Structure 1
Amino acid sequence: MKNIFDKQITEEVISRIENLKPDTQNLWGKMNSAQMMAHCNVAYDLTYTDKYPKPTGFKKFMIKLLAKNLVVGPKPYKKNMRTAPEFLIHGEPDFNTEKDILINNLIKTQELGEAHFEGKDSHAFGPLTASQWNTLFYKHLNHHLEQFGI
């Protein structure tokens, strides 16, 4: 797994994002490129904002039981997997706005660095290691860039 906290890797991912266009065709799934970037930005919203309420009780238990290993484990995502409701994008987000937000989220994450994320509480999974945070961020974004052949 590439390390999203490494400046060179972050720049590589940003370069890939720069290759996206509003009309870049997906290879699978239903999202267009703007929706995909808005979808990817949700992971950062969950990390950096209080935009979404945190799951509690049984719901949090089930998310940790069923989704945590999938999200922070090394196994790649399958094509056309279902996503959490918070990650569903409805409507047509602005391509350039979502692209700018995504790039800024990547830069912020890289600049905060591994030490900031070591033991940091995630929205739904509880405390994660920096390595798990890296997997959460990099694997998800890489999956969707590959979805668009980028």
Structure 2
Amino acid sequence: MSSIYSKTDNDLIITRINQLTPESKALWGKMTVDQMLSHCQAPLDFTFGHTPMKANFIMRLFGKMLKGKVFNSNEFKKNSPTAPAFIRTAHYDFDQTKNELIQKIEVFSNLGKDAIKTTNHPFFGELTYDEWSKMHTMHLDHHLKQFGV
């Protein structure tokens, strides 16, 4: 599995992002390509400490029960549930949003584990740096596959 902290791995992700065009269509789901690019930034922003989020007790309990299943997998399932704060329904400037996502991915290449400002996930609870890496790379891969790149 690739690492969000690896420049080499991130360069491969960025190459895939650069294959997207404003006309790219989803193979599943409802998002447009610009919405997906914005959506992919949301978990990164949370990790950087820019987007505080909390889950209620029931969701945290449910998340802790699912944590092993999610992290023992190598991909997210199609049409998996999304945190309400990460849902995108507006439209965004494609080039600007794409460049912002690339810049945020590069933060991990440049700072490594120091990019992570919180280790407490609102749904899964406390995550290790390796679990954060796996979750971010799985999420990015999931949505890039969604758009055929």
Structure 2 length as normaliser, TM-score?
0.85
Q: Which secondary structure state, in structure 2, belongs to the residue aligned with residue 53 of structure 1? A: coil
Which segments of 5 or more consecutive residues in structure 1 lack a partner in the other structure? none
Q: Which residue of 1 aligns with 2:41?
A: 41
Residue pairs, 1:67-146, within 5 angstroms:
68-114=67-113, 116=114, 121-124=119-122, 125-146=124-145
Q: Which residue of 2 aligns with 1:148?
A: 147
Identity across the alignment (%): 35
The Cα RMSD (Å) is: 2.3
Task: State which drifts further: 120-129 or 43-52.
Answer: 120-129
Q: Deviations over 1:10-47 (max 9, x none)?
A: 11111111111111111111111110111111111211
Mapped contact 2:121–2:127 kept (Cα < 8 A): no
What amino acid is the match of 1:92? H
**Residues in 2 aligned to 1:29 and 1:41: alpha-carbon distance in whole angstroms:** 18
**Residues in 2 aligned to 1:146 and 1:112: alpha-carbon distance in whole angstroms:** 26
Q: Deviations over 1:31-68 (max 9, x none)?
A: 111101111111112111343332354443333334x3
Task: State which drifts further: 54-63 or 137-146.
Answer: 54-63
Which segments of 5 or more consecutive residues in structure 2 lack a partner in the other structure? none
Q: Which secondary structure state, in structure 2, belongs to the residue aligned with residue 5 of structure 1? A: coil
**Residues in 1 aligned to 2:3 and 2:91: alpha-carbon distance in whole angstroms:** 31
**Residues in 1 aligned to 2:19 and 2:33: alpha-carbon distance in whole angstroms:** 11
Task: State which drifts further: 102-111 or 43-52.
Answer: 43-52
Task: State which drifts further: 54-63 or 103-112.
Answer: 54-63
